[in-house]
Structure 1
Amino acid sequence: MKKFFIAGILVWAPMAVTIWVITWGLGLLDGVFGSVMQAIIAVFPHQFAADLQHFRELPGVGILIVVSVIIVTGVIAISFAGQWWIKVWDKLVNRIPVVRSIYSSVQQVSSTLFSGSGQAFSKALLIRYPHSESWAIAFQTGAPAKEVTAKLGEGYVNVFLPTTPNPTSGFFMIVRRDQTIELEMSVEEALKHIVSMGSVPPNNSSGLTALESPPHF
């Protein structure tokens, strides 16, 4: 019975987690639409507000509208006129004292993560953590800031050390380049390896060969 129970969990667990993540994402999109609709309903007279409320309660409408708005925004953003309006909007937002610090930080992170030319998660590395006798898989995210380089010198890299089994949280670290080992496994394979807590090996078996002869520091 124990063997059958574990086999059943192995079948249903990935599907359950996948459904949960998709449901959470769809719920987030629907929640954005709901918040906008509530603000609109509060402005319109009562007779129109009732019709809008019925429209709001239609299943799936919020998700379709939010996704459509995102796609249309993307189409406009890559056009010449859209880029001009984005620059005007950025200048306007950057004049607001508190908002500009949050907006600019999120904008820079989003550009780095989602831009094809960005350096985020460029390669998987082995670093010594949490002490000199153990290793952890981290991701190179770029080069240190100029002020950091001026104080520490050359030869350092920025890395993100994810936690397991939730790789969305972790630690930002600046480590010496010569104290890291570059892995041959892809970033996607390394993420799967981390999420599975090491139980799922990378497809490229050579990606773990770096452990066979680690350097001595």
Structure 2
Amino acid sequence: MKKYFIAGILVWVPMAVTIWVITWGLGLLDGVFGSVMQAIIAVFPNQFAGDLKHFREIPGLGVVIVVSVIMFTGLLAINFAGQWWMKVWNRIMNRIPIVRSIYSSVQQVSSTLFSGSGQAFSKALLIRYPHADSWAIAFQTGIPAKEVTTKLGEDYVNVFLPTTPNPTSGFFMIVPRRLTIELDMSVEEALKHIVSMGSVPPKNIPGLAVVQPSPPL
């Protein structure tokens, strides 16, 4: 009974988590569309409100429209005219006192994470945490700011130390490069290793031997 139950869990848990993540993403996109439609319904007269509500209730329409708008925006942004409008928009947003600090910060983080030329999560490292006798897997996210480098007077690196099993939270740390060990595993393999709490070993790593369990007597 125990063996069958564990085998069933191993089948259903990955599927359930995958469905949950996809459902959460689709719900987020559909929620954006719903908020826009509610604003439009509030503006239009009552005779159009009923038709707009029926239009809003079409299954999957919000996801299709939001994805289409994002794709169309990206198509315009890479053109010369679109880049000019983006500069004008950024200039306007950076002039608003409170908005500019939030907008500029999110813009810089997004550009770093989604740009192929960025340094975010460029490699997996071993660092000493939480004390000198233990190690943790972290990701190099770049180099410290010029002021930090000047005051520390040593070669340091920025690292992000994710938590387990939820890697979306963690700690930002500045550690000496000489106290880090660069790993051969890819960032994706290291992330799987962290999420699984070390139970899923990385694959195709030179010198890594996976010990097979001995057969039962």
Relative to the length of structure 2, the TM-score reads 0.95
Q: Deviations over 1:23-63 (max 9, x none)?
A: 00000000000000000000000011110010001100100
Amino acid at match of 1:181: I
Task: Indicate the residue corresponding to 1:135 in structure 2.
Answer: 135
1:124-203 alignment runs, 5 A limit: 124-203=124-203
Q: Distance in 2 between the 1:78 and 1:204 partners?
A: 38
Q: Distance in 1 between the 2:57 and 2:154 partners?
A: 58
1:1-20 alignment runs, 5 A limit: 1-20=1-20
- Percent of paired sites with the same residue: 84
Task: Indicate the residue corresponding to 2:47 in structure 1.
Answer: 47
Kept after mapping to 2: 8 A contact 1:184/1:207 = no
Task: Indicate the residue corresponding to 2:212 in structure 1.
Answer: none
Kept after mapping to 2: 8 A contact 1:124/1:187 = yes
Kept after mapping to 1: 8 A contact 2:125/2:181 = yes
Task: Indicate the residue corresponding to 1:82 in structure 2.
Answer: 82
Task: Indicate the residue corresponding to 1:100 in structure 2.
Answer: 100
Q: Deviations over 1:81-125 (max 9, x none)?
A: 000000000000011111110000000000000000000000000
Q: Report runs of 4+ in structure 1 exceeding 6 Å deviation.
A: none
Relative to the length of structure 1, the TM-score reads 0.95
Q: Distance in 1 between the 2:25 and 2:124 partners?
A: 27
What is the RMSD of the two structures over their aligned residues, measured on CA atoms? Answer: 1.1
Q: Distance in 1 between the 2:42 and 2:154 partners?
A: 58
Cα distance change of structure 1 residues 122 and 154 upon mapping to structure 2, 3 Å threshold: same
The alignment of Structure 1 onto Structure 2 pairs a total of residues equal to: 209
Amino acid at match of 1:18: T
**5+ long unaligned stretches in structure 2:** 210-217
Q: Is 1:69 aligned to residue 69 of structure 2?
A: yes
Instruction: Describe the SS at the equivalent of 1:206.
Output: coil
Instruction: Describe the SS at the equivalent of 2:4.
Output: helix
